[in-house]
Each structure stands twice: as structure tokens, then as C-alpha cells.
Amino acid sequence: MVDLADPAFQANPHPAYAAWRRTGPVRRTRLPSGLTAWLVTRYDDGRRALADPRLSKQSGFSVGSSTAANRPAGPAAILSRHMLAADPPDHTRLRRLVSAAFTVRRIESLRPRIEEITRELLDALEGRERADLIDAFAFPLPIQVICELLGVPADDRDEFRDWSNVIVAGSQSGDRLEPAIRAMVAYIAALIAERRSSPGPDLLSGLIQVRDSEDRLTEEELSSMVFLLLIAGHETTVNLIGNGTSLLLRDREQWDRLRAEPALLPTAIEEFLRYEGPVETSTFRVATEDLEIGGTRIRAGEPVVIVLLSANRDEDRFPDADVLRLDRAQNPHLAFGHGIHYCLGAPLARLEAQIAFTQLMDRHPGLRLAVPAEDLRWRPGLLLRGLHELPVLL
């Protein structure tokens, strides 16, 4: 049996997923948390499951939760009232309220500032021979963008990063998880109180104003939504930039081709998302009735997890699925999900990635890995797929 918490598995889960797609594409597996869930590993099964209303997001799986019986109590509950953990009609209402503040115009207006932040980060690398590209570039870019978008003080980002790493790793964080959740809850509560007394043009002030209108967010929904936007608003982009850069540096021909053909960048980013996406699995769903997925019977009350990383390598959907093709034209990957829970922040992640890769390749055309590729370490946990560090020679 494969140990999903084994660092060797987490370093390279693709062979195991490939075997499962062939021999048991829907299988009951013990997760690192101790919970047993059905893992869905094929593309077609996963895509249908992501949009199946019989698989509920509102049946008790949330931050810090390890059972499906009830929603968690205490601090974890405050971080579990966002739209990603809700079904219609609650999801419909929450997404509509957040979308009212998280507009396409607001995102596009960030382009000049994202370009400026990117230049400043690359300026700070000038004269250095070596750097950790995660710590010096891939992390500070999206965290500064989302902090400015929400109105969060940038000085708090390192502390926030520590909490985020612990919460995302979940049960593998051990006794650090509960204190991190409590610290995050307290931080968000203070932030909301400050913004309520001194509103500005930021997204958080906009969410508070939505809450104060006739159709409003409750206090817990507001806190939970801020948590979701802070975590999801930077974690996926950190991993998209880090994973994508590492893929290019493992194969210099790919790096050189993308530099020579910058028009390929949009399709290259989609291929990074497919090939080594920033999100490994979906969040939990629970069957509300007996159903079948891929010919396998799922009983009511049983948890289901769609393995996005595996679905995106499914040979039945993607020719040469294990080959990184920067010009892959047909690429309906599931990296941002599918259905009503499709990632609201996908346009922001793509915008940040396009700016980051453009400037990085322009400023550091000779970028190299500073360690053998096999020495790169992956962060623990099944939810996100990202590197601890990316040591590079500038």
C-alpha cells in the first residue's frame, strides 16, 4: 500500500497515480490525516465528480477537520464558512457577494502594480550569485499583491506565511495546527475591525460594505472569506511560478525556446498548470446519496477526493500526458477545478504568472538550478503541490 505521507511519494506521486489510473482509478485510501476516502484519479471521472451536486462540500470537511460527522467547532469553524465549503444556495449567494467586490476590472487594474512589484523583487536580486527563488521571488510577489488587494499590511507577510504553511499541511503539522488556526482567526478579526473603522479602496473594505448592505455576509462568513482569499490568493501562484520555473530549468531547451518565442507564454502557463499544477487534490466532498463514479459504488456519507494532479496526466484525455509541451493547444486541465467551484482567482494567478515569467526570463536569461533537480524538496500535504525552496544561480 502506498503511504501518502511518505516524502518519497510526495516528491514524485506521478508513477503511483499512473498505476492507479490503470488498475483502480477510484479507490479507498487512507489519507495522512487518518481518514479513509475515495480517491478519483482519472480525468473524465474527476471532471464529472467536480460538478456532481450529489457530492456535497457542506458536509463537515473544513480546516482542521478529520471527520465527516459535523462541521468543526471553535476557531476552525470560523475559517470554514467560505464559498469553497458551501453548496447552493449558500454557495451561490456567497460567490455572488464576493464577485461583486472581486471584479475583472479590479484585477486588471492591478497590472501596473504587479509589474512594479516584480521589477522591485528582481532589482533586489541584482549582484547576487545565488538565491532561493521561492523565498526571494515566487512567494513575495503574490503575497504582496493579495495583501495590497485586501489591504493587509505587507510587514505581516512572514508571520502569515508561517501560519499558512502549517494550515495547508493540515494533520502533517501535528500540534502546530491548532495554534496556527487560532492565530489566523485573531489576526483576521483584528484586521476586519481596523478596516471597518477606517475603510479604504481595498477589497476587504469592499467585502465589509457588501456585508453591511441588505444582502450581507455574516461575521463568520466574512472572516472565513478573508481567510480563503489570503490563502488561495497567494498559495496557488507561489506554486505556479515555482513549479513552472523548475520545469523550465530542468530542461534548458524549454527555457531557451520560451525565451525565443515569448508568444508561447500563455499556452506554456496552461501547460505548467496541467503538468505540475499548484493544487494536487480537490477539497473534500461527501456523497449525499449512493452513487457511482467510474463504475465504483460510493455510499452516502462517504468522502470523495478528486486528484487533480493525476487527472491532468490522464493519457486518455491528454496525448503524451507525461511530456511537457509548451505549445499544447487543447489543454482543458482541471488545475483550477471545474463547475460552480471553479477558482475565482484564476485570472489573477494567470496575470501574475505572465508578468513574473516575462520579467524573470528577460532579467536572468542564464538562470540555472543551483542543486541537482532530484534534490529539490516538496512541501508536505496532499492539498497543494509546491517546492520548499528553488535554489538558483543567477
Three-state SS string over 169-237 comes to: HHHHHHHHHHHHHHHHHHHHHHHHHHHHHCCCCCHHHHHHHHHCCCCCCCHHHHHHHHHHHHHHHHHHH
Give the span between the Cα atoms of 82 and 99, in whole angstroms: 13
pLDDT at 182: 87
Residue 114 grid cell: 504587479
Q: What is the pLDDT of residue 105?
A: 82
Provide the grid cell at 375. Answer: 534534490
Q: Are 220 and 81 in contact (CB under 8 A)?
A: yes
Cα–Cα nearest to 48, from 293, 326, 387, 340: 293
Q: Which residue has the cell 532530484?
A: 374
Residues 241-284: tens digit of each pLDDT? 999 999 999 999 999 999 999 999 999 999 999 999 999 999 88
DSSP β-ladder status, 36-40 and 55-56: unpaired
Overall average pLDDT of the 313-319 stretch = 97
pLDDT of residue 187: 87
Phi/psi for 29 (5° steps) reads: -140, 145
- Least confident span in 7-21, 226-240, 311-325: 226-240
Phi, psi of 58 (to 5 degrees): -115, 30
pLDDT the model gives residue 77: 65
Contact status, residue 19 vs residue 313, Cβ threshold 8 Å: no
Enter the DSSP assignment of 153.
-
Segment 128-149 shows an average pLDDT of 92
Per-residue b or e along 44-69, where b marks 16 or more CB atoms closer than 10 Å to that residue's CB: ebbbbbbebeebbbbbbbbbbbeebe
The answer to whether the CB of 316 falls within 8 A of the CB of 25 is no
- C-alpha to C-alpha distance for 327 and 246, rounded to whole angstroms: 18
Q: Out of 207-221, 242-256, 312-326, 378-392, pick the least confident.
A: 207-221
Gyration radius from the chain CA atoms: 20
| 8: CB partners within 8 A, 6+ apart | none
To the nearest whole number, what is the mean pLDDT of the chain? Answer: 88
C-alpha distance from residue 122 to each of 117, 118, 141, 189 (Å): 9, 6, 10, 34
∠ at Cα 56 (335, 40), nearest 5°?
45
Compute the C-alpha angle 79/136/323, nearest 5°: 85
Answer whether residue 233 shows pLDDT above 80: no
Q: How many CB atoms lie within 10 A of CB 361?
A: 18
Three-state SS annotation for 52-101: CCCEECCCCCCCCCCCCCCCCCCHHHHCCCCHHHCCCCHHHHHHHHHHHH
pLDDT at 154: 72
Q: In the structure grid, which three cell numbers stand for residue 264, read together? A: 508561447
Query: What are the pLDDT digits (tens) for 283-315?
Result: 889 999 999 999 999 999 999 999 999 999 999
Under DSSP, the state recorded for 132 is E
Residue 225, pLDDT > 80, answer yes
- pTM here is 0.90
The CA distance from 67 to 60, in Å, is 7
Cis upstream peptide for 153 (omega within 30°): no
Q: Which residue has the cell 484525455?
A: 317
Q: What is the pLDDT of residue 68?
A: 39
Could you tell me the three cell numbers for 26?
A: 477510484
Residue-wise pLDDT for 97-111, tens only, equals: 788 767 778 788 889
**Best CA proximity match to 58, nearest among 368, 341, 364, 319:** 341
- The three-class DSSP label of residue 131 is strand
Q: How open is the CA angle 142-258-118, to the nearest 5 degrees? A: 25
